[in-house]
Amino acid sequence: MPQLNDLSRSLVALNQDSTIIAVVELSQSSWLVAGVLPGIERQPRKKLEPSAERLLGLLHRWRDEAVRAGKTITRIALAFEAGRDGFWLARWLNARGVEAHVIHPSSVAVSREHRRAKTDRLDTELLKRAFLGWLRRERGHCSMARVPTIAEEDAKRPNRERECLVGERTRIVNRMKGTLARLGIRNFKPTLRKAADRLATLHTPEGMPLPPNVLAELQRAMARLGFVVSQIREIEQARQKRLEQQPETGPHAMVRQLSRVVGVGIETADMLVHEVLSRPMRDRKAVARYAGLTGSPDESGTKRREQGLARAGNARVPHGSSPWAEGPRGMIQLAWRFLMFQKESALALWYRARTADSRSGTRKTMIVALARKLMIALWRFVATGETLEGVVLRPAG
């Protein structure tokens, strides 16, 4: 029996005599729509310009054809792969009576031939077979992505924008340090408050002032750096204001509750809540899977090896959003930090007991297991209020 929030198969039984089934291959220049119509032997295919209104008109025309063939249509099910267009089309169609689904592209099995043929027509046939199997509630055909609301998507934007700005700040600083290092200057810190004033007083080891073009370049870089830093500060202040104005509203309550854990800062709490913890999850396995903290074994015959973490789920969670992210943002980094701040917690004691042999390989493997256990424990903490055994919490407020 399918569980709640199980998107690996349909929760509604399929009556193919009263259901129009359609798939769409989306691209920037055109949309190719293929369908299966009750009472009509041919399986129509139509190329459209990228227009939601034209797509809806085509579905209604196919419905009229099925009605003229003597069928009563009670359901129109449509699916397309997740991509650059996001989820707006699914929301738009759902609001107009069309059951729209978004397919995980990596969940659709494809031919393993070295040079397989790939066209939009073949892709629609592949999607059609996978979608039919999913509607029949058969396992293994494909998995669907949950369609978020506009509010849920918008809530992720400040955190992701800040991550991009932090990366840009790091790139500017590194570029300035590299420019100065080529002139033999290594003790300049662009992030200091008076760095812009000190820039004009710098001298090379030969006692010469900075060349005019280099000085102009660095001054422009300092101006960009100041602008980026001001935008980061603006985002942080706006987030703090939202938390103070609506402290008990949905994800805000989760962020405040999670930030009470000693060792979890407001940035990490905000990222975890909006990227993972605020989503409806089926069970603990789904949480670990979406966080990208499950393994990918390679076993065949007598061969047994582990390929590392599976490249699935949300890439921002296991290692952080980018190598330039400020501070330990991902779950792997948070697990190491958790060992520093929560030494007497049950999870920290479990980790030390498993790594008592002091082998580096064991510590590296078990930190991933600790990150997975920690992710599940935090999910239960904010979702059900289950206490974290031995974890020190900051006072509420």
pLDDT tens for 330-380 read: 788 899 999 999 999 999 999 999 998 877 778 888 998 999 999 999 999
pLDDT tens for 31-73 read: 999 999 999 988 999 999 999 999 999 999 999 999 999 999 9
* Residue 387 to residue 377: CA distance in whole angstroms: 9
pLDDT tens for 281-320 read: 888 888 888 888 888 888 888 888 888 777 677 777 765 5
Amino acid at 164: C
Distances (CA, A) of 160 to 117, 133, 151, 231: 37, 36, 15, 13
The CATH number of the structural domain formed by 16-147 is 3.30.420
| pTM: predicted TM-score of the whole model, two decimal places | 0.83
* Residue 338 to residue 319: CA distance in whole angstroms: 15
Q: Which helix (H) or strand (E) holds 34?
A: strand 31-36
CB 335 within 8 A of CB 347: no
The angle at the Cα of 87, spanning 59 to 11, to the nearest 5 degrees, equals 70
230 contacts: CB under 8 Å, gap ≥ 6:
none
Amino acid at 207: G
What does R_g of the chain's alpha carbons equal in angstroms? Answer: 27
User: Where are the domains positioned within the chain?
Assistant: 16-147, 154-245, 251-383
DSSP 203: B
* Residue 283 to residue 40: CA distance in whole angstroms: 42
Structure tokens at 191: 């992030």
CB 92 within 8 A of CB 52: yes
Beta-bridge partner residues of 79: 23, 101
